[in-house]
Amino acid sequence: MQRRRPVLLLDVDGVILDNNLSAREWDRLAPLAFGKLLGGDPAAWSSAQDRAWCFVEQRANHRLSELPRRQWPSPEDWWRDANADWIVELCAIVGAHVPATLEQRVAAAEWALTAYFGGTRAIFPGVREAVRVLANQYEIHMASGNHSIAVDCHLKNVGVRAFVGQPYGTDLLGAYKGDATFYDVIASSIGRDPSEVVVVDDTPWCIENASAIGAKTVIVGQRCESADLAVESLAELPLAVERIDFREW
């Protein structure tokens, strides 16, 4: 019987998206995305972003810290509430009208994020070519701590959506990326044993969590003792990943 292709789980931030360029791209795109939808001073939208999101994220995570783990909201609910609060804070900073209902605020956030992530130029060089080559050898899915809307928009923006299966963000999984079970949940969702999976991420603790469940691992742009491979960029991966040994399965 022919062996199934191994699975490649790619992160977005720091692997596909260059985080150092993201702030610049936000300055360029935020006035178009938010100003068109909500009004206010177009020049104020870009500077408001970091202030608003940092406050909202810190407040949301503080709420989690005060609750027992069993009472945490699902990641889907976390994103819904955080995005709605984010719109409220942004509108307060720039003097725009706040959408009246929770559903309208969530829709506004998702509309603006789609406009932003769908137009950003913060993609690492060589990503498009690398994903297309890797798709010949691997079944590719995403494994991001971001919202699946952002993940999907990035894939479309790069031109590789057709080569990737599930755009897993935490909202689709019911698991936070910090959970030790995060990669186990993905493997189970796609019907694979972790030993058939290669996790590609730029964060050492993600690599350690993936290694702990028996997945192969590649760290990007950093070093991590538990990683099976280290590469400087995703563009290097098609050649480097050939060194991973799957004889155990």
- Please, what are the domains in the chain? 7-18+123-243 (3.40.50.1000), 20-117 (no CATH)
What is the pLDDT of the chain when averaged over all its residues? 90
pLDDT at 229: 94
Q: What are the start-end ranges of the E strands in the chain?
A: 7-10, 139-143, 167-168, 197-201, 216-220, 229-231
**Does this model's pTM top 0.85?**
yes
Which segment of 39-43, 55-59, 79-83, 138-142 scores lowest on mean pLDDT? 39-43
* Top mean-pLDDT range of 24-38, 108-122, 211-225: 211-225
- The string of pLDDT tens digits covering residues 167-186 is 999 999 989 998 999 999 99
With cut-offs at 50, 70 and 90, classify the pLDDT of residue 189: very high
pLDDT at 202: 96
- C-alpha span between 30 and 43 (Å, rounded): 9
pLDDT at 249: 46
Say how many C-beta atoms besides its own lie within 10 A of residue 140's C-beta: 21
pLDDT at 248: 53
Mean pLDDT of 196-222: 96
